[in-house]
Amino acid sequence: MSMRATDEILQRFALRQTAERYAVAVDRGDGALFAAQFTPDGELVAPRGVFAGRDSLSTVPAMMRGLYEKTFHAVLTQVAEIEGDEATAETYCIARHLYRDGEQRRMCYEMTIRYQDRFARLGGAWLFARRELIVDAAYRFLIEDAR
């Protein structure tokens, strides 16, 4: 394998790692880790609003914790185009949000989502410059307690 091909594989892996750290940060409620996946002026465009800059971005995991008992985000597919120190990608995910309904039944709000991602490479690290969440489908269902 050529050095060029090896470098491309490594860069694609690094882009995916950024998306996976984003997911883990939400699920762990880690605002600092979440914000660190973005450039200093990066932004997230989501149904709950636009979060711009790391201070604003760092509030997202706590907001999610306030809405749900637990979240589970799975990064499935990512197709990226890399040009120098910039990249774009479409990233597919399944997001599960666990909560109790009015009757205290355990429920799941599941979303099939895509992110339209724009990355910048800063200091050798790929970070989100802009991430837009698009919801393709969503539904709620009763789940059994896992015990």
* pLDDT value at residue 3: 66
| Residue 5 confidence class, pLDDT cut points 50, 70, 90 | confident
Between the alpha carbon of residue 88 and those of residues 43, 66, 68, 69, the distances in Å are: 14, 31, 30, 32
Query: Is residue 96 predicted with pLDDT exceeding 70?
Result: yes
In angstroms, the Cα distances linking 98 to 20, 72, 105, 107 are: 20, 8, 10, 6
pLDDT at 92 over 90: yes
For 39, phi then psi, to 5°, come to -65, 160
Dump pLDDT digits (tens) for 18-39.
Answer: 999 999 999 999 999 999 999 9
Nearest to 115 by CA among 37, 60, 44, 10: 44
How much is the average pLDDT of 92-118?
A: 97
Tell me the domains of the chain and their CATH numbers: 3-142 (3.10.450.50)
Region 45-66 average pLDDT: 97
Q: Is residue 113's pLDDT more than 80?
A: yes
Local confidence band at 146 (pLDDT 50, 70, 90 cut-offs): low
Whether residue 111 is predicted with pLDDT greater than 90 in this model: the reply is yes
pLDDT of residue 147: 63
